[in-house]
Structure 1
Amino acid sequence: MSSRIKAVASLIAAMVLVGSSVAVGRSMTAALPLSFASLARFVLASLVLVPLVVVVEGRFPRVSRRTFYALLAQAACGSFAFTACLLSGLKLTGAASAGVTAAATPAVVTLLGAICFKEIPGRLALAGIGCVTAGLAVLGLASGGPVIGPAPFWGNALVLLAVCFEAVFLLLRRTVREPLSPLAAAMWVSLLGGLFFLVPGVCEALTLDLGHIPPRAVGEVVYYGLGVTAAAYMFWFYGVVRVDAATAGVACGVMPVAALACAALWCGETIGWREMAGCAGVLAGILCLAGGARKKNGAVRDSHP
């Protein structure tokens, strides 16, 4: 199997795991407090990743102070704020709607890149942002399909805020100059993510009867920690540095499809026309963004013989 095929397979695996995390997260937070579940997730991931990194790389990967601060900022946005907003939103809206909303990440990254780094998007990128916006607008409709959750509008708004934090997390990656292996990067994100949830997570644990936690919730925490956190981070960090931006963008299209499937299978949700139309808009947007990235990369190659 070629290196490119492995990288694409790795990205797809990461997006399937991330898509499934929305449905699993909705079920998990229905049974467990948010901070406790998040702390348990990062602790489990760290318990696996730290010894694995030491065995594979022969040492604990140290980083410079500048890189540590960049990783800390990434963890604050991508682990703490993203998780808090996503899981809070999942208490208010359905997993299917939340999964489609969360798939808007490439469009938000493009938009923030234009604002923060003066990267003017081309026509295809603007069309992609428009398609994603239209898809999210469909999800915001108050009627016309099955509505799941006590406050779907505000739930989806929180998920969209989580997407913004995730986009900042991805853009902050540019400030990390030291080479980090996918395994080491996943380890650092897990360790620092657990640090942010330590105090609120311990406080919630003190109020819980740990002996009466449902077995299903325990399994969901384990899946979230080992699958969504450890494995998904490693798959994504491995693949994203081995393919062009267009390919990574297309791989992101797997995420809303996986989210819809898992919402139906794991949460028993009925997928209505709003979710399907929203998913179609987001997928069209991702394809436009990927086409714009491919065109840009081709222009760069042509200008540098």
Structure 2
Amino acid sequence: MSHNAKAYLNLALAMVLVGSSVVAGKIMVDELPIFLASALRFVLALVILVPIIYLREGGLPRLSGRSWFMLAGQSLCGSFLFTVFLLWGLTRTGPASAGIITSTTPASMGIIAWLFFKDRPSTKTGMGILLSVIGVLVINLVQGGAVTGTNPVLGNLLVLGAVLFESLFLLVRKTVPEPLSPLAVSTIISFFGLLWFLPMGLYEAGHMHFAAITLTGWLVVFYYGAFVTVLAYIFWFAGITRVPASTAGVFTAIMPVSALILSALILGEPIGWPQLTGCACVLSGIVLISKR
């Protein structure tokens, strides 16, 4: 398997796992408050990552102050602000509207990569981005167009902010000059993620009746920490450094496809021809990019 093929596979697997967080997160926040659940997620991730990195790499690498600052900012954007803005937005707007907005992540990443990383997409990459955006829009538009929520305008703005933070999170890794293994950067991002969530998480823990959490709740927290955090981070960081930013952006279109399929399998939500059409557009865009 070529280096590009491995990078594409890593990016795809990462987005499949991130898409599964829609189902896992919905179950998790039904039993635990947002900040506490997120703090526990990163505690578990570090319990897994820290022993492995010391055994395999002898500990964390030496980094410049600027690189530590960039990684802290990356974690702030993706681990903290994306989660908070998205979940707060969903309390004020309907899921259909939020889904349409989050579908713009591939385009958002492509624009940021063009403006800040001078990664001007080729014609094929541009066509792949367009196909992916069309696909995810189709998937989300068929979920219903009714305007719902207590404050749809504010909610939609919060979700749009979440898209921006997620795009920055997925791209900032390319600004760190030191060679970092996927394991090392995943450990560092998880450490900062815990720091961002810890103050409010401790506050919520003081008002939480832990005996009320079911076995399902604890299993979902474990899944979120071990798979959505550890494995998804490792897969993404293994791929992002090997491909142009605009190409990596296309693979974020797998996220809503994964969420759609898993929602149907686990939550029993129906899938019709419009959803299948959207999935076909997304996959076509990815194939187009992969053959560039």
**SS of residue paired to 1:63:** coil
Relative to structure 1, is the Cα distance of residues 132 and 59 closer, same or farther in structure 2, using a 3 angstrom cutoff?
A: closer
- Read off the aligned partner of 2:168 and give its amino acid letter: V
Deviation at 1:214, TM superposition (A): 2.1
Q: Which residue of structure 2 aligns with residue 259 of structure 1?
A: 259
Deviation at 1:70, TM superposition (A): 0.7
Relative to structure 1, is the Cα distance of residues 242 and 127 closer, same or farther in structure 2, using a 3 angstrom cutoff?
A: closer
**SS of residue paired to 2:59:** coil
- Read off the aligned partner of 2:221 and give its amino acid letter: V
Deviation at 1:21, TM superposition (A): 1.0
Q: Which residue of structure 2 aligns with residue 302 of structure 1?
A: none
**SS of residue paired to 1:79:** helix
- From 149, 152, 156, the equivalent of 1:151 is 149
* Whole-angstrom CA distance in 2 between matches of 1:181 and 1:57: 9
Alignment of 1:205-244 (within 5 A): 205-242=205-242
Relative to structure 1, is the Cα distance of residues 224 and 98 closer, same or farther in structure 2, using a 3 angstrom cutoff?
A: farther
Relative to structure 1, is the Cα distance of residues 207 and 87 closer, same or farther in structure 2, using a 3 angstrom cutoff?
A: same
* Whole-angstrom CA distance in 2 between matches of 1:137 and 1:255: 12
**Contact 2:102–2:159 (Cα < 8 Å) also in 1:** yes
Bigger shift: 213-222 or 254-263?
254-263
Alignment of 1:55-94 (within 5 A): 55-90=55-90, 93-94=94-95
Deviation at 1:101, TM superposition (A): 5.4
Alignment of 1:118-157 (within 5 A): 118-128=118-128, 130-131=130-131, 134=134, 145=143, 151=149
Deviation at 1:201, TM superposition (A): 0.9
Relative to structure 1, is the Cα distance of residues 13 and 24 closer, same or farther in structure 2, using a 3 angstrom cutoff?
A: same
* Whole-angstrom CA distance in 1 between matches of 2:20 and 2:55: 29
**Contact 1:139–1:274 (Cα < 8 Å) also in 2:** yes
Relative to structure 1, is the Cα distance of residues 177 and 145 closer, same or farther in structure 2, using a 3 angstrom cutoff?
A: closer
Deviation at 1:171, TM superposition (A): 2.8
Alignment of 1:160-199 (within 5 A): 160-199=160-199
* Whole-angstrom CA distance in 2 between matches of 1:90 and 1:221: 20
Q: Which residue of structure 1 aligns with residue 32 of structure 2?
A: 32
Bigger shift: 165-174 or 132-141?
132-141
* Whole-angstrom CA distance in 2 between matches of 1:149 and 1:272: 22
2:46 aligned with 1:46: yes
**Contact 1:25–1:90 (Cα < 8 Å) also in 2:** no
Deviation at 1:287, TM superposition (A): 5.5
2:239 aligned with 1:200: no
Q: Over residues 276-301 of structure 1, what are the superposed CA-to-partner deviations in whole Å (9 max), with x where a residue is unaligned?
A: 5655555555566x27x93xxxxxxx
Relative to structure 1, is the Cα distance of residues 31 and 277 closer, same or farther in structure 2, using a 3 angstrom cutoff?
A: farther
* Whole-angstrom CA distance in 1 between matches of 2:282 and 2:139: 11
Relative to structure 1, is the Cα distance of residues 241 and 145 closer, same or farther in structure 2, using a 3 angstrom cutoff?
A: closer
Relative to structure 1, is the Cα distance of residues 12 and 136 closer, same or farther in structure 2, using a 3 angstrom cutoff?
A: closer
Bigger shift: 37-46 or 99-108?
99-108
**Contact 1:145–1:274 (Cα < 8 Å) also in 2:** no
Relative to structure 1, is the Cα distance of residues 53 and 97 closer, same or farther in structure 2, using a 3 angstrom cutoff?
A: farther
Q: Over residues 191-228 of structure 1, what are the superposed CA-to-partner deviations in whole Å (9 max), with x where a residue is unaligned?
A: 00110001111111111101111221111111000100
* Whole-angstrom CA distance in 1 between matches of 2:173 and 2:205: 33
Provide TM-score, normalisation by structure 2.
0.81
- Read off the aligned partner of 2:59 and give its amino acid letter: R
Q: Over residues 165-201 of structure 1, what are the superposed CA-to-partner deviations in whole Å (9 max), with x where a residue is unaligned?
A: 1111233223211111110000000000110001111
Q: Which residue of structure 2 aligns with residue 301 of structure 1?
A: none
**Contact 1:99–1:260 (Cα < 8 Å) also in 2:** no
**Contact 1:249–1:287 (Cα < 8 Å) also in 2:** no
- Read off the aligned partner of 1:151 and give its amino acid letter: G
* Whole-angstrom CA distance in 2 between matches of 1:160 and 1:222: 28
- Read off the aligned partner of 1:165 and give its amino acid letter: F
Q: How many pairs were matched up? A: 289
| 5+ residue gaps, structure 1 | 295-305
**Contact 1:25–1:87 (Cα < 8 Å) also in 2:** no
Q: Over residues 16-67 of structure 1, what are the superposed CA-to-partner deviations in whole Å (9 max), with x where a residue is unaligned?
A: 2111111111221222211111111111101111111011112333322111
Relative to structure 1, is the Cα distance of residues 215 and 150 closer, same or farther in structure 2, using a 3 angstrom cutoff?
A: farther
* Whole-angstrom CA distance in 2 between matches of 1:227 and 1:214: 20
Q: Which residue of structure 2 aligns with residue 23 of structure 1?
A: 23
